[in-house]
Amino acid sequence: MQLIIDRLTKQYKNKIAVDRVSLTLSQGVHGLLGANGAGKTTLMRMMCGLLTPTGGSVAYNGIDVSREEYRDVLGYMPQHFGYYPNFTAHGFLCYLGSLKGLSKPFAKEKSEALLSQLNLTDVAKKKIKTFSGGMKQRLGIAQALLNNPKILILDEPTAGLDPKERVKFRSLIAKLGSDRIVLLSTHIVSDVEDIAHNVHLMKDGQIIAGGKVDKLLSQGQSLEQLYMEHFGDSEGENDYA
């Protein structure tokens, strides 16, 4: 089980959003850390086939990102989770289940199980437009898991979650990482600190550091300190002094 990203590049007119990124991701949780505008979302969109790269390739076990077989094993939760306001949570999951190639009865069964797992059973029959931000976010996670994906790409998944949900979410991700590739992008270090097996730091479209967490950190250094070392300037830490 290997997801190989080879010199992936995305260039807009006069801006390189992702610059020759090469990564090999295997089973486990991979954190993608970077400041806003570092190119994380663009990289993830290319990994989901939503954006055509200017150069390079993405392949899972030799299957190119543009193929249906690739999308069959993909679960994606975008930064801004889109939904139909007039659909119920259950109806929306069943719809996405059909899009993911699940049979109607199985999609129904799976939707119910995921809604229960993410504590949304009580509101399963309610329209999504009545949901709070955290509930929508949990629904976004549920839809990404519908097809039991081998590659799970989560773009800023903890935005909008309260601290309690955030903790629950982390343990869920850690569990999911045991038998699949999970790539989680965030600019909140604590989201990946305890659960990521590997961390990749992204800045100006490039991976500036990456690898196993314990190897990345020097003696006594925390991930947050490492992050600040690389992104301190770009995050504007002095603004709050």
- Interface of this chain with other proteins, residues 140 to 199, rule: CB under 8 A: 143, 147
Count of residues in contact with other proteins, rule CB under 8 A: 30
Backbone angles phi, psi at 175, to 5 degrees: -65, -45
- Single out the residue of 151, 147, 148 nearest to residue 27, CA to CA: 151
**In whole angstroms, what is the distance from residue 156 CA to residue 183 CA?**
10
Neighbours of 240 (CB within 10 A): 5
One character per residue 46-65, x = contact with other proteins (rule: CB under 8 A) = --xxxxx-------------
Binding to other proteins by residue 86, rule CB under 8 A? yes
Alpha carbons 186 and 35: distance in angstroms, whole number = 8
Residues 201-240 that bind other proteins (CB under 8 A): none
Q: Which of residues 62, 82, 105, 220 is near other proteins by CB under 8 A? A: 82
Closer of 68 and 239 to other proteins (Cβ) = 68
Q: Are 149 and 74 in contact (CB under 8 A)?
A: yes
For residues 70 and 72, give the distance between their C-alpha atoms in angstroms, rounded to a whole number: 5
Decide whether 56 or 217 has the Cβ nearer to other proteins.
Answer: 56
Site residues (vs other proteins, CB under 8 A): 41-42, 45, 48-52, 68, 71-72, 74, 76, 78, 80-86, 95-96, 98-101, 104, 143, 147
